[in-house]
Amino acid sequence: MRHLTEIRWHGRGGQGAKTAALLLADVAFSIGKQVQGFPEYGPERMGAPVTAYDRISDSEIRVHSNIYEPDFVAVVDDTLLHDVDVTKGLKKEGAVLINTDKSKEEILPLLNGYEGKVYTIHARRVCMETLGKYFPNTPMLAAIVKISNVMDWDIFLKEMETSLKHKFAKKPEVLEGNLNALRLAYDAVQ
């Protein structure tokens, strides 16, 4: 892992971008990383654009601001590509991850000439196969860990299982579906 990895999340209210960013920060912290995970609030309503951030490092993080030049960007809703410049400030050696059922060729014209790596995942399909409901943040979380290589996959999966057991203590039937969503998403990134 590089000294500091910065990730910016774009989603819509209710899709779990904030939750994914906070879960990633929690897991990174649990394995000894220095972390920041935080949302940026605008109009707090369902469907409104939401931005969240992660900073993950092996050493102390001294910057306390939004992330303007991220290493990676995760786009939870591809309809944002028409309204938000998701690649603004994104480092060329970084990558953008987009939840979409479209091909990369269809997506590229919407990325304002971004020349870095572009990854896609069909999070809806992953969710429906594993959860029976659409919660895109779980597949997106696995996918961003894969493309960013911010931590070892096996360690991430183990720590997520611990976190999800706690989160879903009163709904243990949800645990296996979420773990399956993480595993399937890891393999589904293109």
Average pLDDT over residues 121-133: 92
Start-to-end Cα distance in the chain: 21
Query: What is the tens place of the pLDDT at every residue in 12-62?
Result: 888 889 999 999 999 999 999 999 999 887 666 677 888 999 999 999 999
- Sorting pLDDT into bands at 50, 70 and 90, what band is 141? very high
Burial class (CB in 10 A: 0-12, 13-18, 19+), 71: buried
Structure tokens at 146: 């894969």
Question: Considering the chain, what is the average pLDDT of its residues?
Answer: 90
Note the pLDDT of residue 78.
Answer: 94
Residue 3, CA distances (Å) to 55, 56, 61, 81, 175 in order: 10, 8, 10, 30, 32
Q: How many of the other CB atoms lie within 10 Å of CB of 73?
A: 26
What pLDDT sits at residue 49?
Answer: 85
Paired strand residues for 11: 50
Instruction: Give the position of tokens 């999340």.
Output: 9
Name the band, by pLDDT with cuts 50, 70 and 90, for residue 165. confident
Residue found by looking up tokens 């819509």 in the block: 12
Strands (E), 45-165: 49-57, 72-75, 95-99, 117-121
Please determine, for residue 189, whether its predicted confidence score (pLDDT) is greater than 50: yes
Q: What is the dihedral of CA 141, 147, 149, 151, to 10 degrees?
A: 10
Buried/exposed 84-102: b ≥16 CB within 10 Å, e otherwise: eebbeebeeebbbbbbbee
Q: What is the largest CA-CA distance in the chain?
A: 47
User: pLDDT tens digit string along 58-105?
Assistant: 999 999 899 999 999 999 999 999 989 999 999 999 999 999 999 999
1 — pLDDT class (breaks 50, 70, 90): very low
